[in-house]
Structure formats: structure tokens, C-alpha cells
Structure 1
């Protein structure tokens, strides 16, 4: 009976760890996507300033 309990506890621990890891992967993926989107938007805004106002406005 002890072997079965140990196997059950190890299985439960692996499932818990797996769920935690999957949650972290999703969080990191979302964070990376948001960072990439933010960078693209800022680059577009900077390029727009450069075109409209000249080099001085893009630096500010």
C-alpha cells in the first residue's frame, strides 16, 4: 500500500508542477507579445515624427 500512496503523491506533484509550468509559459508568451506590439507601435510613432517634424522631434 505504501508504494501505491507514493506513486499517487508523485503523480499529483507532477501534475501540479506541470500546470504551474504551463501557466508560466502562457504568461511569458503574453508578455513577449505585448512587448513586441509596444515596440512596433513606438517605432511607428517615431518614424511618423521623423517624417512630419524632422529629426529633432524624433529624438524627443
Structure 2
């Protein structure tokens, strides 16, 4: 049986960035960023770290 936690994978990058004070990326966030750019969509995913904050173009 799995235990319920408050940890949310979707905002783990933001949590680490806030804690250590530097941008954090992963293959998943980089891929998402490039896919959104290729589709000409704003790379904005709230709580997913700086790369997907909409501040980087």
C-alpha cells in the first residue's frame, strides 16, 4: 500500500530552486520547453522552475 504524501513531482524543480537559489533543469523540463517553443506556445508551467516560468525566451 502506498503512503499519501504532500510531495508533488510537478513542482519539485521549483522547490529545489527556491532552496538552493539557482535554476534547476532536467531532461523533462528541457524537452517540455523545446516542445512548447516548437509549437509557438509560451513556455509557461506554474511552479515548474525558472525554465518553464515564462521568463526565458
The answer to which structure, 1 or 2, has the higher relative contact order (CA under 8 A, 6+ apart) is 2
TM-score (norm 1): 0.29
Structure showing greater Rg: 1
Compare the two structures and name the one with the higher helix fraction: 1
TM-score (norm 2): 0.30
